[in-house]
Copies of this chain bind each other. A is one copy, B any other.
């Protein structure tokens, strides 16, 4: 079956990323709002009321008609009669007119007639019923007007937003509990290779423990999805086929890793091609490390064959697999946020043209400048990813990056 490799031309990253639209979004579910941080909103939320629902004081002080204070100063204070005290959380049972004031707690509702608040520090009590005011205030001073935060009918958050804590707070303000969100993608993880042993086993002299299952599970979780591990498949057609079938049955996406050698790569392709309703979409991507990546569409689900080298599998996940997880999980394009930062390269890096080179970098801060120091090393060495804080992608047409150049760093 080694002829498979001839059917495919290496694709560039953009071509691969554009294939996400071939995979359908997951369904939605209702969850308690308290658990909604990090989840993806399923539909636009329209406000059903003004927020706040009333003119509200932002200071301790006195509600007044602003015009009563015009011209007031230390030398010529305005004199106002206290009409009453506004209790927290209750509608005042009185109104005020020019020349009158009401005692006002922060957050309280302004009485009818008042258009502003003067903070207590700018006033002096004459007796229990009257105050002097030493400064003039403008209408709207130290209050939040009804509807100033949101107006009834506003779209407050759009579908496809990955909810941050402040977004959840906003949904709380509008009573959106429970809230409808996209289901979290369930992602199956399979390691392959005759040399791979489980973590709790002592490797024989030519064996290594399974690391990819553990690092990929963490990255899947970071992408807002739920990892499900299926263990290690030996390089055996029937075993891998069986494990893949089970994983595709039970999850929304499957990630195989391993099989980086030419022989086992063909073997992964062979298994993916033998699955029912399966089509190979990608066989090779112009990225380094990570070129021998495979993407199949099987029963409508994405099945990935990632390289076995520890660094390659992580980089391909971060740069290519993660957007597909976000897509099926409902995250809209404007809400796809890798954590980026800007940094200056500490030295020259050369790069081959015709592919995207993913350089691992360690970030360090000197005074107010962030520097990216390349972490060089083979893509089989996990220490390079442990030392690194980020990835810098060198453009496909670039011969490299010069020392001191400002670069975009994907934080890892």
Enumerate chain A interface residues (CB-CB to B < 8 A).
33-34, 36-38, 51-54, 56, 58, 60, 87-92, 105-109, 120, 144, 148-150, 156-157, 163-177, 193-196, 199-219, 221-222, 229, 235, 260-264, 308-310, 314, 339-343, 368, 370, 378-383, 385-386, 388, 406, 408, 411-412
Could you tell me if B60 and A380 are in contact, using CB atoms closer than 8 angstroms? no
A212 to B216, CA, bound (A): 34
Could you tell me if B88 and A386 are in contact, using CB atoms closer than 8 angstroms? no
Could you tell me if A263 and B60 are in contact, using CB atoms closer than 8 angstroms? yes
Could you tell me if B339 and A339 are in contact, using CB atoms closer than 8 angstroms? yes
Could you tell me if B261 and A166 are in contact, using CB atoms closer than 8 angstroms? no
A199 to B193, CA, bound (A): 52
A146 to B78, CA, bound (A): 86
Could you tell me if A261 and B105 are in contact, using CB atoms closer than 8 angstroms? yes
Residue from A216, A229, A262 with most neighbouring chain B CB atoms (10 Å): A262
Given the known interface contacts A165-B215, A166-B386, A263-B60, the answer about A175 and B209 at a Cβ–Cβ threshold of 8 Å is yes
Given the known interface contacts A341-B340, A382-B169, the answer about A91 and B217 at a Cβ–Cβ threshold of 8 Å is no
A-B contact pairs, 9 of them (CB 8 A): A60-B261, A60-B262, A90-B194, A105-B261, A163-B218, A166-B412, A168-B215, A169-B310, A170-B211
From B149, B168, B202, B206, give the contact of A109 (CB < 8 A). Answer: B206
A229 to B169, CA, bound (A): 14
Instruction: For A292, give the chain B residue with the smallest CB separation.
Output: B106
A157 to B150, CA, bound (A): 48
